[in-house]
Amino acid sequence: MRPSAVLLALAACGSLTKQPAPDALVIETPAQCEASFDTAFPRACSIDADCVLLVHADCCHEIDIGVPSADLSAAQSAESTFNTCLAQACGGRGCGGMTTAEDGTSPQGGQAIVAKCVSQACTSTVQ
């Protein structure tokens, strides 16, 4: 078969460029993992007692976040999916760091991270 006939046959069968398999693993960025997590469950609250802490992470350290106790199972499920995504997005970790609250503060001697309801949304801070 002539080379031009081979190219014509290949063109008739589809694209000459290799397409990824439909089930190929798609690696997301940490920001994409976080965006998916942030929309996975509501964080609405009325009072501080509506909120509980959930251990969350970024590529380097843990963040104790406030989530509604009424939606804790949804938050835990979203966290599991997030952790799988983040493990792929961050690759090898190892940078370490102190556990922080969502507002970026870390507890010092005698302090603790607590869940709070601020502007009708669960969050966390050091108290």
Tell me the pLDDT tens digit for each residue of 66-92: 999 999 999 999 999 999 998 888 876
**Element spanning 53, H or E:** strand 51-57
User: Domain-by-domain residue ranges, the chain?
Assistant: 28-126
Question: What is the Cα–Cα distance from 105 to 116, expressed in whole angstroms?
Answer: 14
Please check the confidence at residue 19 and state whether its pLDDT lies above 50: no
Strand-pairing partners, residue 114, are 125
What are the angstrom distances between the C-alpha of 118 and each of 24, 54, 75?
41, 16, 18
**Element spanning 19, H or E:** none
pLDDT of 26 reads 60
Residue of 117, 114, 119 whose CA lies nearest to 50? 117
